[in-house]
Structure 1
Amino acid sequence: MRPFLLYFCAQMRLKRILFIPAIAWFIIASILFFLPGEDIPEVSFLDLIYFDKWVHTGLFAGLVFLSALPFIKAGKCTAKLVIKISILFILYGVCVEFIQKFLDEGRSFDYTDMIADAVGCVIGSVFSKWVARKTAEKNKPL
């Protein structure tokens, strides 16, 4: 197992810069998730369209896609990898909700946020595989 990890890291070493968008997106999303409740503006018409759920879905779709992007560009994006990335971020979404419940003042635990997170991960996975397929077709030798 160890030689594989070393080989994999050596192969991806030149591509580390490609992980910067995913890391930046993760940091921004985490800041938004852990803002105190009183710092989040309340706009009544946004509640009507479930804006909060759309934000969760978009943030998690972005997390999955941006995390898969370096592998897509390296031609190493497999369905198994995308599923692992999705599971990782679904678990992160569940952890965020529990942290909001127990540690974050003014924030609440919401099962529907977890569902929106999971839906976002699925959307990000599907989009990642679609982009990987299109990229592979484009780079296929004639």
Structure 2
Amino acid sequence: MTWAVIVLVLTLTPADEMPVTPQWKLLSFDTAAHAAVFLLLAILTCFSAGRQHRFPTLRTHVFSLVLVGCVAFGALIEILQMTMNLGRHGEWSDLISDSIGAVIGLLGMAALRRWWQ
């Protein structure tokens, strides 16, 4: 939950208050940052949800629920960026990067789960 709040605050910071990001040639810094932030969000959420013993259904469907939640959260951020007039721009490419990061995080968690068992 804390990481999600940090992500929300950082993504809704007005554009004129954001630091200058480096210009990468192969992959944009922004794309990599979106993927990395949502990779970590998916891992932390998956780990936390797996520890919820009171909700066995949540533990059973954790990967699909976390994926849907991460994509929905990414979409919400892009919609807020478009509508809040902060000098930020909602972009489909950011949502795709968010989704790719979440999928990679979940694949890593699935691999870790298999290895652990």
The TM-score bracket by the shorter chain reads 0.7 to 0.9
Q: Distance in 2 between matches of 1:46 and 1:104?
A: 27
Q: Distance in 1 between matches of 2:87 and 2:9?
A: 15
Q: Do 1:83 and 1:125's aligned partners in 2 also have CA atoms closer than 8 Å?
A: no
Q: Do 1:72 and 1:132's aligned partners in 2 also have CA atoms closer than 8 Å?
A: no
Q: Distance in 2 between matches of 1:71 and 1:40?
A: 32
Aligned to 1:34: 12
- Shift of residue 134, structure 1, vs aligned partner: 2.3
Q: Distance in 1 between matches of 2:63 and 2:110?
A: 8
Q: Does 1:100 align with 2:88?
A: no
Q: What is the aligned residue count?
A: 113
Aligned to 2:106: 125
Q: Distance in 2 between matches of 1:32 and 1:46?
A: 21
Q: Does 1:86 align with 2:70?
A: no
- Shift of residue 71, structure 1, vs aligned partner: 4.1
- Consecutive unaligned residues of structure 1, counting only runs of 5 or more, are 1-22, 138-142
Aligned to 2:96: 115
Q: Report the AA paired with residue 35 of structure 1.
A: T
SS state of the match for residue 118, structure 1? helix
Q: Does 1:58 align with 2:42?
A: no
Higher helix share: 1
- The root-mean-square deviation of aligned C-alpha atoms, in Å, is 2.1
- Consecutive unaligned residues of structure 2, counting only runs of 5 or more, are none
Q: Do 1:68 and 1:128's aligned partners in 2 also have CA atoms closer than 8 Å?
A: yes
